[in-house]
Each structure stands twice: as structure tokens, then as C-alpha cells.
Amino acid sequence: MKKIKIGQIGICHEHAAGKILALKGLPDVFEIVGVVDDRATTAARFAGDDLKPYDGLKWMTEDELFNTPGLQAVTVETPNSDLVSTAMRCMERNLAIHMDKPGGEDLEQFGKLLKVCKKRNLPFQMGYLFRNNPAMQWCLKALRQDWLGEISEVQASMSHNYGGDAYQQYMGKFPGGIMFNLGCHFIDLIVAMLGRPAKITPFLKSTPGLPDNIKNNCLTILEYPHATVTLRACSREVDGLNRRRLKVCGTKGSVELCPLERFDGQPLQMSLNLLECNEEYAAGTHMLDFSIKRDRYEDQLLEFAKIINGEMANPYTYEHDYLVQEVVLATSGYLEQLAPQPNSKSEYRNTKQNGRNKMNAILIKEDKSLVWGVVPDPVIKENEILIEVHAAALNRADLMQRAGDYPPPPGWPEWMGLEVAGVVLEAPSNCRWKIGDKVCALLGGGGYAEKVAVPADMALPVPEGLSMVEAAAIPEAFATSYLNLCIEGDMKAGDTVFIQAGASGLGMAAIQLAKALGAKVVTTVGSEDKAKFVRCLGADVVINRKKENIAAVMAKHPADLGMDCVAGTDLGPCLETMARGGRWIVIATLGGLKSELNMTDFFKRGIKLIGSTLRSRTSEMKAEIFAGLEEKLWQSFSSGKIKVLIHKTLPITSAEEAHAILQNQENLGKVVLTVK
């Protein structure tokens, strides 16, 4: 994997030194191009005098950093008051941003930063400490899977006793004091757990002997319809760092974590007490051991790299980050209360207090086996429809998600399933759908379930004459094919199109789409049986990759457009055979991450190499893809010109067997799970 060129602006944030040491510890992932020294800032700061962590790194001005060729990302580690303005300058240069906490004292300015980052699809990651804490991530999973029941109480403490008088004076620079500076870490977790609080009551005090303006002894109460959260932060608690704690209580169980972090070579431990058993744990008391961590930053920076490289979507949405900052400012006394609006975060979590019922879905257990388990019903947002799922089709991305390599985009459920067909149960009054309509839909995840919520414009009518099983097999493969052939590849009638893995579900869809729009198709397969199969679909030239040299055959049929899910060592030789002005689109790397390319082919013959995935596209972009698909191809399904090929249909409770078929590459056509 190519290293990410990254720089750091600032050494005066409390986490700046630790962040740069973590980056130094990941030399295979990041290339640190330099560090901007911000010690001349007039903002309040408590760090920046120890320069040893920066040994061996290049000092540079901000302009020098921004003008570094190939710069991709910046960690923003300035004092609190300078964080947002510095991140804004990074945003103006279209850089990926990791910004330390908190999000400033001006909510409007922070909102502008997030709005533009979202519009430009820029990776933006907040540096809250607990996002990659294994115990706290376990808590979020437990809530989603209903292991703790309805949450009634959360107790959290974020105290310490370091920094001496200098730290107390530093806290006096912020009206919100230590709640603003440290409480934000827990607020990020609490909002992820419970969403927008109904009421916030802060108590911002000083410890004995300090002036009233130094708010170093704070308590905040967050109220929910059936739950209360108490959050404490004090900078003069004896042994406070080791006594930081989290307790979560629900109707089915509770967890307690103290300390919150360990970096002494011993595993972090959390106590769990369950009233009843679930698919993972027996009733009673358990002591959970979590992995040994080297530091608190490495995992988050590795996640940042995956987001930048398009290997995963950011688990935390721009909307979540905005809501967290709004709550931070309310708990710190900057805002009297939150703005009266509904929860801005789309969650699939256990909140029966919001009136949610339950349903079943296929869940991935810790040992990677599958179970048909109980989860809360989806929460329907504005402009979404609720679908009763009748059938869900499988995709290779499901196998990757099950292995832990392909998480769902933010806002979608954690269970698998990218395409479904079913009946509309609920719909907004201003959309094309009515209750009872039969639809198929493209999802970011969550299809292996009894119900799913989806944006209304990411659904299409079940084509006339097709069953629910057939309709479920359309959205992902044909939307991916349309995106890459018609939008990214600008395919025209008469073009020669090369499609890797023609007998796969995606390959079969791409072959039929290309032929329907007048293209010549060259494709690869792995057996003679599959060769006969794809010829029946209309493939003009079929290459048996186990017997023939792919590039040699392609040289006789120069491709105007390639759709490649293999890449690897085949990529370079294939590119050399392309027609002038050819477009080669890589959608996966099943053949390996590394390829050797002759760069002269690109500028001498005007070849374009394009990377593309459907899942990472926004809902708005997917809606545009779906609209084009309906306009150009939908009638071809009803007429039979394009066929939906089903290899096998299994009940949803046989998901393990269905996955094995894909894993062993046994299928010619789609594998579909029936739910109803």
C-alpha cells in the first residue's frame, strides 16, 4: 500500500506529542513530511515545550507544508482555540483532516467546517479518545444487539490530578473549564449510545482554594426520556487518572469499566453482569479481557488511513460530530440548551424508550459465525421508506464485511445485506411510494433482516413479471455495472468492453448491460462450463484465464473500456493492449494490491485509470445512479432482454450455507435468501 503523505500542524495541543509518536510508529502507513511549530500562538496552551518527540522530523511553515507535493492529510494539533480555524485552512486545500478535540467554542464556525467537508467528501476525523477503545466499542455493540436491555443510567468520570497549578490556570482560560476540555471525550460516546439528550444541566464549579473563574470541578446531568447520564470531571481528584470510570445500567444487565485505558502491557478489563443469557454470554457475572494496546492513538490513525484510502467509510458522520459539539457546548455552559430538533443521528441501537419494537436480523458473532438474532426496528428518517424484506441477495462484499474488512457506511445497520426486495410498510406523503408497493432497493447495509429503512429514491419498482427473489438480485450488480460502464466509463454503442470475471454475479450483469447498449464484450472465466454460460449471455470473446494469456487475447480485441475486479499482476499487461483513449476502471483487487504499470501508455495513448466503488458513494449519488438505471434499462427486465440469473434460493436462517456457496465460488448466478 502506498504511504500517505501527512503533516502535523501544531505541537501545543495536549495530545500533539503522542499523536506524532504514533505516526512515527506507523512508517509503513504514513510518510511524515513535516511539522508546523505553533508555539508563537497567542491562544491558551498547556503543552508544546517538549520537542524530543519531533526528533528527526522537518520543521516547516504552514505554507511550506501546504505546498508539499503529494500532501494528502494533516493532523491538526494546535491549542483548542485554534483548532477549527486551522482545520478550515486545511479544508480549503482539500486535505483529509484529523482534528483533535474539542470542536471549538463557536458552533456556527464548526458547522461550516463540517458542511464544506461533507460537500467535498473530505475525510474528517475527530480525535476523541474512546472511539477505538475496545471496551467502549464493546458497549456500543452490546447496545445495538440489545444485550443490556433498555438503558436507564450511565455514570462517567473523566478526572485526573496532573499539571499542578499551571493546569488550573489553563482551565481558567475556558468558560467551560474541564468539562469543555475533557468531558467531550465521554460526550462523543454518550451521543453514540443514546443520541440527542432531552435536557442538559451543567454544574461548573471550582475546587477549594481556586478562584471562581477556574471551572476545574464539573458535573453535568443529561436527561433522556427514560435514562439519566451523570458526567464528572475534576482536575484535582487524588489518583483521578486511574479512577476514571464508566458504568452503564440497563434492564437486562450492566457493565463497569475502571480504569478506562491501560498501556502497561496488561489487558484492559471490564465487568459484565447479565440478568439473562444471549447468543454470546451466559447469565451472571463475567470479567471481559480486551486486547493489549501500545498507545491510545495508533488504532484511530490506522482507521484514518483506511478512510483516506477508501478501504472503509468513516464510522462517525459529519452530523454526529456536529451533535457532539452542540452537546459539549451545552454541558460546558456555552449554550443554555440544545436547539429543539429531532435526533440528527441515524442509529440502529437499543432505545425502546423511543417506542421502537424489535425484529430479527442475521448477526455476526465474535467467532465470525452467523446467528438469526433480535435487534431493534429501524428508525425511519425524513424521506425514507420502511420495507418489509421478502428476499435479500448475497454479494462478495458480505463476505468481506463478515471478515471485518468492509464495515458499513455511517448511518447504516451493522448487519449485512446490500440489496433487497419487499413491500413498503411506511412512506412519507410526498414520495412516489405508497404502502403496499412492491420495490427492490439498494442499501448501504442491513438487508439480512425482516425490515430495513432506505431513502425513497434508492428504491425502484419490482419489474413486471419478476418475482421478489429475482428483483432482490438486481440493485447492487446492475447499479455497479451502470455506474462503472455508463457513468465512469462513458460507454457508447460500438465500444469494445473488457469485463473481468464474467461468470460472477456482477460480471453477468455487466455483460448483459453492455450488450443491451450496443457494446462488444470481451470477458474472462475460469472454466469451460462458465465460458458456455457467458456466451449465452451475449459475450463476444471469452478468455479462459486458466488456459489462455489474457493480455495476448486482448491485444487482438483492443478494449475501449475495462471493468476490473481483479487488478494485481494482470493489470499492467492488460493496460498495454487498450485502445487509444481507453478507460480502465478498477473496482476491486481480488488478484492483489500491487501492479506494475508502464506509465508511458497513459500519456502516449491517453489512457485513464479510474478507481471506483459503489458502496462509498453518498445516498444522493446512488439515487442518481438508480434514476439512470430505471430510465435506460428497467423495461429490459420486464421484456426478458436482460435476465436475472438465480443460482440458489435459501431461507434466511441458512445464511451460513449461502455464504459457503459464494466462498467456494460454486455459483453461476445470484444466491438469494428468502425472508418472508
Pairing of strands 253-257, 199-205: unpaired
Is-contact 468 501, C-beta < 8 A? Answer: no
Please report whether residue 124 resides in a domain: no
User: In angstroms, what CA-CA distances link 4 with 7, 57, 295, 306?
Assistant: 10, 16, 21, 10
Phi-psi region of 445 (alpha: psi -120 to 50; beta: other; left: phi over 0): left
CATH code, domain carrying 50: 3.40.50.720
Please report whether residue 170 resides in a domain: yes
The count of other CB atoms within 10 Å of the CB of residue 245 is 16
pLDDT > 90? residue 483: yes
Is-contact 657 665, C-beta < 8 A? Answer: no
Assess whether 269 and 368 both reside in one domain. no
pLDDT-derived band at 346, boundaries 50, 70, 90: very low
User: In angstroms, what CA-CA distances link 551 with 502, 523, 538?
Assistant: 16, 12, 21
Q: For 268-324, how does the pLDDT look when each residue is reduced to its tens digit (9 = 90+)? A: 999 999 998 887 899 999 999 998 888 899 999 999 998 898 877 788 888 899 999
Predicted local confidence at residue 90, as pLDDT: 97
Assess whether 173 and 278 both reside in one domain. yes
Q: For 174-184, how does the pLDDT look when each residue is reduced to its tens digit (9 = 90+)? A: 999 999 999 99
Predicted local confidence at residue 311, as pLDDT: 78
Q: For 176-223, how does the pLDDT look when each residue is reduced to its tens digit (9 = 90+)? A: 999 999 999 999 999 989 988 999 999 999 999 999 999 999 999 999
Assess whether 601 and 666 both reside in one domain. no
Predicted local confidence at residue 329, as pLDDT: 96
Listed residues 44, 77, 100: the one ending a domain: 100
Bridge partner list, 191: none
Q: For 609-641, how does the pLDDT look when each residue is reduced to its tens digit (9 = 90+)? A: 999 988 778 778 888 899 999 999 999 999 999
Predicted local confidence at residue 357, as pLDDT: 63
Range(s) of the domain holding residue 456: 357-474+650-674
Listed residues 611, 631, 660: the one ending a domain: 611
* Higher local confidence (pLDDT), 97 or 431: 97
Please report whether residue 261 resides in a domain: yes
How large is the average pLDDT for residues 54-75? 97
pLDDT > 70? residue 586: yes
Please report whether residue 125 resides in a domain: no
DSSP 377-408: PPPP-TTEEEEEEEEEE--HHHHHHHTTSSPP
Listed residues 50, 83, 100: the one ending a domain: 100
Assess whether 139 and 74 both reside in one domain. no
pLDDT-derived band at 340, boundaries 50, 70, 90: low
Q: What is the Cα–Cα distance from 417 to 675, expressed in whole angstroms?
A: 12
Assess whether 491 and 469 both reside in one domain. no
| Residue 56 DSSP symbol | T
Question: Which contiguous run of DSSP H or E holds residue 471?
Answer: helix 468-472
Q: Which of 505-514, 595-604, 619-628 has maximum average pLDDT? A: 505-514
pLDDT > 70? residue 353: no
Assess whether 485 and 465 both reside in one domain. no
Assess whether 321 and 390 both reside in one domain. no
Predicted local confidence at residue 293, as pLDDT: 83
Mean pLDDT value across the chain: 91
Q: For 91-125, how does the pLDDT look when each residue is reduced to its tens digit (9 = 90+)? A: 999 999 999 999 999 999 999 999 999 989 899 99
Predicted local confidence at residue 35, as pLDDT: 98
Assess whether 466 and 483 both reside in one domain. no
Assess whether 210 and 267 both reside in one domain. yes
Assess whether 30 and 176 both reside in one domain. no
pLDDT-derived band at 1, boundaries 50, 70, 90: low
How large is the average pLDDT for residues 473-499? 96
Structural domains of the chain, count:
4
Question: Which contiguous run of DSSP H or E holds residue 248?
Answer: strand 245-250
Please report whether residue 553 resides in a domain: yes
Assess whether 51 and 197 both reside in one domain. no
Predicted local confidence at residue 272, as pLDDT: 97
pLDDT > 80? residue 607: yes
Predicted local confidence at residue 348, as pLDDT: 33
Please report whether residue 121 resides in a domain: no
pLDDT-derived band at 246, boundaries 50, 70, 90: very high
CATH code, domain carrying 144: 3.30.360.10
Please report whether residue 258 resides in a domain: yes
CATH code, domain carrying 459: 3.90.180.10
Please report whether residue 113 resides in a domain: no
Q: For 396-405, how does the pLDDT look when each residue is reduced to its tens digit (9 = 90+)? A: 899 999 999 8
Least confident of 156-160, 602-606, 633-637: 602-606
pLDDT-derived band at 339, boundaries 50, 70, 90: low
User: In angstroms, what CA-CA distances link 646 with 69, 471, 514?
Assistant: 50, 10, 20
Assess whether 470 and 482 both reside in one domain. no
pLDDT-derived band at 580, boundaries 50, 70, 90: very high
| Residue 130 DSSP symbol | G
